[in-house]
């Protein structure tokens, strides 16, 4: 099905050497990466840039030191990523939307003492206050200052090193730490996941074996590189397989994104359902008609989103599933095998098992093992200790159902069940019910303590006049359990999302608790 079968032997290298392998196969002068500045770089350009920048960063850091990267998706962030690898350091990708408290916790866990960023980015994002907070516990290094220090000798040296890159790059092992990423924090404080070189390369190879990519397709990635979907799918996958990728700094610039997709003729795109719907609504004429493969993850794909893409652009959306701990792709539908309502089949090289969850009758907890599964979680105290998955098995925390043909259907997260009167109710199902009644709106459900029934459901909706009556009528007509119909619906202007596009359930939980408290007062 894919362009080459999954071969675990191809994973036994490092990211920098895998990049050099791709350069040899595609040709060093091949333009391979571009962003909104519209200045394409070739493989040779990236290698030279990595050695030039890396030489300066080497003087500012110690071997194997973890360097924080606080940058938007773009060519600059990609060069920085490979520069850090060229000198034998480890990038810790920092979520600039997470807030100072979470970023401080992340830096403590990863023992980050220096953060690389750019003045242009800080000014454009109005992040001066955040930088002031971060500078209290880490050295802030601005890349503009580093580049100004580059001499002619540095640049000539980078050219020579680029010609003999395998000799001059720092030695590393496939099982060494390659990146520190932090989980999304949808339900609590983000955790630091340590991914090795072999983990990331394995996931690239697994995805490439599972999905058939035309060799001439161009990728378009607006997802943040601090999120594994954006890092692996949007940057590493195309670069390591010889596909040009166009990087954009924010998924929220809807008009700019659809214009650039039309202008660049991009064919492959990764997004979330929320962002995809906004792109479709914003697009004029045939701006998205060049898309041949669009994979959505992080949240359930709505039928309305599928319909608008097929109607306007002739694009069949593919739903997938992943986790930071899995580098991230676990399962994905393909154009040849696309079952709506599922997240596709599990990709090659992953073992899986299902473990029953007490009180949950539909589905079971998914546990996975494979070459793409993380080295482990970082201890939060900065000691450097890593909590490895027991026996290599990672508990996803997701309740799934896998049918006889191998298609995976997400029932919900273990944390996403409310226990009402002794019965477990899926909050994902509650959201789906609301979507059937009000398909043009967004909804999110959380649960709060209830003195009579243990817990009760609070539904947030951006439909201003949403109320329980129509939802109850629909449930009764469809035979859905009435216990899953929320008695309380809170109208909200917009469902809050994280920088990755996932629903921010932590914020909604606080809002629900405040609403219930105010109601009881």
According to the model, what pLDDT value does residue 1 have?
42
According to the model, what pLDDT value does residue 421 have?
63
DSSP tag of 503: B
Output the pTM of the full model.
0.84
Other C-beta atoms closer than 10 Å to the C-beta of 451 total 7
User: What is the mean pLDDT, run by run of 10 residues, along the chain of 521 residues?
Assistant: 77 96 96 94 97 95 95 96 97 90 90 96 93 94 94 94 95 96 68 96 96 94 93 96 95 93 94 91 87 91 92 94 95 95 96 88 91 94 89 92 95 75 74 87 86 81 89 82 83 84 82 78 61
Fold held by 421-520: GMP Synthetase; Chain A, domain 3 (3.30.300)
Q: Map 421-456 to HEC letters.
A: CCEEEEHHHHHHHHHHHCCCCCEEEEEEEECCCEEE
Who contacts 309 (Cβ-Cβ below 8 Å, separation ≥6)? Answer: 276, 280, 288, 294, 315, 316, 317
In this chain, the answer to whether the domains covering 8-401 and 421-520 adopt an identical fold is no
Q: Map 31-71 to HEC letters.
A: EEEEECCCCCEEHHHHHHHHHHHHHHHHHCCCCCCEEEECC
- Domain edges within the chain: 8-401, 421-520
pLDDT digits (tens, 9 = 90+) for 392-440: 999 998 889 999 999 999 987 777 777 676 667 778 788 888 888 898 8
10 Å CB burial of residue 465 (0-12, 13-18, 19+) is: exposed
The whole-angstrom separation of Cα 471 and Cα 488 is: 11
According to the model, what pLDDT value does residue 449 have?
82
CA distances (Å), origin 144, targets 91, 136, 161, 250: 18, 21, 22, 21
Report the alpha-carbon angle 376-382-386, nearest 5. Answer: 20
Fold held by 8-401: Rossmann fold (3.40.50)
Nearest to 372 by CA among 125, 149, 195: 195
According to the model, what pLDDT value does residue 129 have?
92
Phi, then psi, of 85 in degrees rounded to 5: -70, -35
Token reading at 510: 């606080």
Phi, then psi, of 43 in degrees rounded to 5: -60, -45
The whole-angstrom separation of Cα 56 and Cα 61 is: 9
According to the model, what pLDDT value does residue 500 have?
67
DSSP tag of 202: H
Stated as kind and residue range, the H or E segment containing 19 is: helix 15-26
Other C-beta atoms closer than 10 Å to the C-beta of 344 total 24
According to the model, what pLDDT value does residue 373 have?
98
């Amino acid at each position: 099905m894919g362009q080459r079968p999954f071969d675990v032997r191809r994973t036994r290298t490092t990211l920098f050497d895998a990049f050099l392998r791709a350069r040899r196969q595609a040709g060093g002068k091949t333009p391979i990466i571009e962003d909104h500045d519209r200045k394409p770089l070739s493989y040779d350009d990236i290698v030279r840039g990595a050695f030039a920048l890396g030489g300066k960063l080497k003087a500012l850091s110690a071997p194997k030191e973890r360097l924080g990267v606080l940058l938007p998706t773009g060519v600059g962030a990609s060069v920085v990523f490979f520069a850090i690898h060229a000198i034998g350091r480890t990038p810790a990708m920092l979520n600039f939307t997470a807030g100072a408290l979470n970023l401080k916790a992340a830096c403590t866990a990863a023992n980050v003492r220096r953060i690389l960023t750019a003045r242009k980015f800080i000014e454009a994002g109005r992040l001066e206050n955040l930088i002031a907070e971060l500078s209290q516990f880490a050295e802030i290094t601005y890349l503009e200052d580093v580049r100004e220090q580059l001499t002619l000798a540095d640049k000539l040296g980078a050219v020579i090193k680029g010609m003999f890159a395998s000799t001059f790059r720092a030695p590393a092992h496939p099982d060494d730490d390659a990146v520190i990423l932090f989980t999304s924090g949808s339900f609590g404080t983000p955790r630091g996941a340590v991914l090795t070189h072999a983990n990331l390369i394995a996931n690239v190879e697994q995805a490439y074996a599972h999905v058939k990519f035309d060799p001439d397709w161009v990728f378009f990635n607006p997802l943040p590189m601090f999120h594994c979907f954006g890092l692996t799918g949007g940057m590493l996958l195309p670069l390591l397989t010889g596909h040009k990728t166009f990087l954009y700094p924010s998924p929220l610039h809807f008009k700019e994104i659809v214009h650039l997709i039309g202008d660049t003729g991009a064919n492959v795109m990764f997004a979330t359902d929320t962002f995809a719907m906004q792109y479709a609504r914003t697009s004029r004429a045939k701006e998205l008609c060049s898309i041949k493969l669009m994979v959505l993850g992080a949240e359930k794909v709505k039928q309305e989103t599928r319909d608008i893409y097929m109607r306007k652009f002739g694009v069949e959306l593919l739903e997938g599933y992943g986790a930071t701990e899995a580098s991230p792709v676990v399962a994905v539908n393909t154009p040849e095998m696309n079952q709506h309502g599922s997240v596709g089949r599990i990709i090659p090289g992953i073992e899986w098992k299902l473990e029953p969850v007490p009180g949950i009758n539909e589905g079971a907890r998914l546990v996975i093992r494979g070459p793409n599964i993380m080295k482990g979680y970082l201890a939060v105290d900065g000691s450097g200790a890593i909590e490895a998955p027991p026996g290599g098995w990672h508990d996803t925390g997701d309740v799934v159902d896998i049918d006889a043909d191998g298609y995976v259907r997400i029932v919900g997260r273990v944390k996403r069940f409310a226990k009402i009167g002794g019965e477990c109710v899926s909050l994902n199902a509650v959201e789906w019910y609301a979507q059937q009644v009000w398909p043009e709106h967004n909804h999110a459900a959380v649960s709060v303590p209830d003195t009579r029934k243990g817990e009760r459901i609070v539904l947030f909706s951006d439909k201003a006049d949403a109320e329980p009556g129509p939802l109850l009528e629909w449930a009764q007509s469809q035979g859905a359990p009435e216990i899953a119909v929320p008695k309380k619906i809170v109208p909200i202007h917009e469902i809050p999302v994280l920088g990755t596009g996932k629903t921010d359930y932590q914020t909604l939980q606080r809002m629900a608790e405040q609403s219930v408290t105010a109601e009881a007062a």
